[in-house]
Amino acid sequence: MSEIKWNEFLIPYSQAVDELKIKFRNLRKEFLEKNEHSPIEFVTGRVKTVDSIREKMHRRFISTDLLEQDMQDIAGIRIQCQFVEDIYDVAKLLHIREDMRVIEERDYIANSKPSGYRSYHVVIEYPIQTSTGQKNILAEVQIRTLAMNFWSTIEHSLNYKYKGDFPEEINERLKRAAEASFMLDEEMSKIREEIQDAQQYFTDRKRDLNNPTEHNK
């Protein structure tokens, strides 16, 4: 691949992201329709911009010929969960699916980055159908709690300003915020059953109010 035609190159990645978002959102819907707790709360996705791809190619010394196999996050899916336990449940769900194959996993929850970053990364191989036949796309699925996602979003925004070279004071505050965020997740896990019971009660009440006839049968 001597010269990349970026619009053409990114089409299958965009298709993969669109399909994966639908599939994971439908998985959440399936849990809810069965009146069960869904380990998936929110699903978002994106395709890396051309500028971002070029910057990473330069930083990681990735050649154009090896781009598709060496850059695993051109297609990215983010799954947000309520509880830390849900993260590992989602990872298990990825392993048993027959429409994708897990290639690599990185647990930044049990082994957080020095910055305080926590998340669970799964690289999958996902087949899509194109006009020329099947094409296997690498996509990165990031699974994290709502609290982890809040911290990561803030850190990512600051990274744009400081290009990764944070002042020491901000660096220390980010680390403390990451620990506080994880403590929140740990406390929520301790009362997870109570929270889920309350959420189920709310769901049942809402269903009864929306279907008074069914309730009075």
The active-site residue, picked from 41, 125, 140, 168, is: 140
- 122 forms beta bridges with 105, 141
- 136 forms beta bridges with 127
> Which residues fall within 8 angstroms of residue 29, CB to CB, at 6 or more apart?
none
Bridging pattern class, strands 42-47 and 120-130: unpaired
The total number of residues shown for the chain amounts to: 217
Token representation of residue 167: 């002042």
How far apart are alpha carbons 181 and 155 in whole angstroms?
Answer: 13
Residue 140 is a catalytic residue: yes
Closest CA to 24 of 1, 44, 51: 44
**Catalytic (active-site) positions:** 140
